[in-house]
Structure 1
Amino acid sequence: MPSFKAPKLPGSPRLAAILGILALFVVVAVVAGTPYVRQGVENALLAESEAKPAEKVIDPPAPLFTLSDVNGRSVSLTDFRGKWVFINFWASWCGPCVVEMPLMEKLNQTMKNDPFVMLAISLDDAEPVKIRQFAKELGVSFSVLMDTANVAREYGVTSIPATFVVNPDGLVVAQAQGAREWDNPEMVKFFRDMMETAPKKD
């Protein structure tokens, strides 16, 4: 299972400013005591952490799930069988997560004519309506789901952001730990190549 190979988010005044603004969300989350807070704070401080190397294993089946999105609609992974599914675990209090969301949206728009679906699974304890508003302010159009069933644990997520790609057969074929420049041409090429080289069914 390959790990994503793309430039990490660059250090820049813009990135630093965004992380500074989002520090408030981290403080609020610490007070709330959510289960991912400690790692979330570490992620905010280590916005440019390197991706963890992928394990040398056969592509495993993606853990199935059914969750509600921020609009109350039920969404199941099996709804997208036959498509490539991009699954991103994130939270509003995680600085790097929020920084990469608009970049994910750009990738989503680039791939809109492909058999490609993007899902963002929120680990927030906040009410869905608040996360819906947060996502709206970020300008994202892809589905945002609420992790009310510990799906992150099923995927072995220990820190966020964490991203997984599930192929049309329901297997996890790629993963990434940490934020990425999802709109980078190299990243788009990564997905195009993966789709083109995938075994074709008769």
Structure 2
Amino acid sequence: TWCGPCIAEMPSIQKLYDKFKDKEDIAFVILEAESNKDKAVKFMTNKKLDLPVYFPTGNIPSEFFRGSLPTTVIFDKNGNVAHITEGMADYSGDDIVDFLNEVRNMK
């Protein structure tokens, strides 16, 4: 709700989510770092985003989050880290779609 790079990348995450939201083998988890539900719901509504937002009840393990906002972590279906991006990224391109499909098809 306040992080400029996070806000800037949200529309591209929404586009990616829209491509995969009906796939049962992919889950999107958007963590709201401040755990302020009212502020987050208002933000998502104002930005016309329908991403699934979750509110952590404890610390996020440092293997996944070292304090950089935004941080994106992609896990494979076995729970292993397939990719981490620290900082803003554009998730609307075919490269991330191809990567997610590759991760989905791994054995």
TM-score normalised according to structure 2 size: 0.85
Q: Deviations over 1:116-150 (max 9, x none)?
A: 1111111126x311111111222222211123312
Decide which moves more: 134-143 or 104-113: 134-143
Among 175, 178, 199, the alignment partner of 2:87 is 178
Q: What is the alpha-carbon distance in structure 2 between the residues aligned to residue 122 and residue 168 of structure 1?
A: 23
Letter in 2 for 1:106: K
Task: Give the partner amino acid of 1:172.
Answer: V
Figure out how many residues of one structure are paired with residues of the other and give that number: 106
Distance, in Å, in 2 between the alignment partners of 1:124 and 1:152 is 16
Cα-to-partner distance string for 1:34-72 (whole Å, 9 max, x where unaligned):
xxxxxxxxxxxxxxxxxxxxxxxxxxxxxxxxxxxxxxx
For 1:165 and 1:193, locate their aligned partners in 2 and report how far apart those are by CA, in whole Å. 12
Cα drift, residue 113 of structure 1:
3.2
Query: Which of 26, 29, 32 is the matching residue for 1:116?
Result: 26
Structure 1 residue runs of 5 or longer lacking an equivalent are 1-91
Q: Letter of the 2:50 partner, please give it.
A: S
Equivalent positions of 1:1-202 (< 5 A) are 92-114=1-23, 115-124=25-34, 127-151=36-60, 153=62, 155-196=64-105, 198-199=106-107
C-alpha separation in 2, matches of 1:169 and 1:187 = 19
CA RMSD of aligned residues (A): 1.8
One-letter identity of the residue aligned with 2:75: V
- 3-state DSSP of counterpart to 1:173: strand
How many angstroms apart in 1 are the aligned matches of 2:90 and 2:81? 21
User: Which of 1 and 2 has greater Rg?
Assistant: 1
Residue 53 of structure 2: SS of its match in structure 1? Answer: strand
Give the residue type in structure 1 aligned to 2:55. Answer: M
The offset of 1:180, in angstroms, is 1.2
CA contact (8 A) 2:65 2:71 kept: no
Structure 2 gaps, min length 5: none
TM superposition shift of 1:100: 0.7
Paired residues of 2:77 and 2:104 also in contact (CA < 8 A): no
* Residue pair 2:76, 2:103 contacting (<8 A) in 1 also: no
| Identity across the alignment (%) | 24
